[in-house]
Each structure stands twice: as structure tokens, then as C-alpha cells.
Amino acid sequence: MRPAVPADVGDITRIWRQGWADAHLGHVPAALVAARTAASFAERAREQVADTIVAARGEEVLGFAMIDGDQVDQLYLDRAARGGGIGAALLKAAAEAVMAAGHQRAWLVVATGNVAARRFYERQGWVDGGPIVHRAPVPGGSVAVDGHRFVSPGR
């Protein structure tokens, strides 16, 4: 686990775009899918590099997490890196970064239809606070998405 650097942006963009599709297609409105263009992932990866932690093996980026205040904003692994405990390590590193910044707990939103991720967060000891309507930001506004808000174990 290490902080991301600008040279990671290409790998983060690729992992994010593929992982976002795996996690969201069929579970979110068409307007959100239309807004999540290849360029949009590249732009957000560049903008948020200072708030990103990567999991890497040597030169190879295996996945990443982003934080935004007390929120774990994004968590994605390369397809080949899933199922092996790396997600748990990244989630722990992200929650620790949130708490090191002075917060008591971290939180995140997962799409209701992403049942594999919901099971994963529960296995990590995060608590499902129930359904919410999440306003996913898009250029010029937001799109309503059915989600669940999860809260991390405390310090």
C-alpha cells in the first residue's frame, strides 16, 4: 500500500473504468452510465491523485482507494487481483487514512445492486446503515442512485 503518484494515473483510470462497469452496469440509471465516459475517469483520476492509495506489487498497480474527507470514495481492484484479500487491505488502509485525519469513523456508499461488494463490506466489519438515495455527481448536476451507506468500525 502506498500513496498514489501522478505516474499511476493511467493504471488507476483503466482499473476504475473496468471496475466501475463491473460494479454498476444494470444497477444505475442510463444517465449515469452516459456521464461516466473514458475521459471522465481519466480526469477524476488526475484530479484526485493526492487522495488516492494504491495497492502495488513492484511496478504493477493492482487496485486503488480514494478518500474524500471522512468518506471512502472509491475502491476498485484490477479484475485479475480480485478475490485474494487485496480489497480488505486497501479498505483498511483507506479507513486508517480517514481516522488519521481526525475522524472517528469512515463511511461509503455502494450501489444496492452490487451485492458482492455489500457482502465484502459486511465481511470487513462495516455496518450497513440501510438504503439511501445517493446523488452521484455528474457534470452540471447529479443522478439519483439506489445505494446503501456503510460505516466502518470505530478507532
Cell digits for 60? 504493477
Q: Which member of 83, 102, 139, 140 binds ligand COA (CB under 6 A)?
A: 83
How far is it, in rounded angstroms, from Cα 90 to Cα 12? 14
Cβ-count burial 41-57 (b if 16+ within 10 Å, e if not): bbebbeebbebbbbbee
* Residues 143 and 49 sit within 8 Å (Cβ to Cβ): no
Which alpha helices (H) appear in the chain, and where do they start and end?
9-24, 30-35, 38-47, 86-100, 115-123
Q: Is 135 in the site for ligand COA (CB under 6 A)?
A: no
Segment interacting with ligand COA (CB under 6 A) among 25-33, 44-52, 76-84, 98-106: 76-84
Query: Applying CB under 6 A, does 119 fall inside the site for ligand COA?
Result: yes
Contact pick of 62, 77, 93, 136 for ligand COA (by CB under 6 A): 77
**Of the listed pieces 4-12, 30-38, 48-56, 113-121, which binds ligand COA according to CB under 6 A?**
113-121
Q: Does 99 bind ligand COA (CB under 6 A)?
A: no
Any contact of residue 28 with ligand COA (CB under 6 A)?
no
26 counts as binding ligand COA under rule CB under 6 A: no
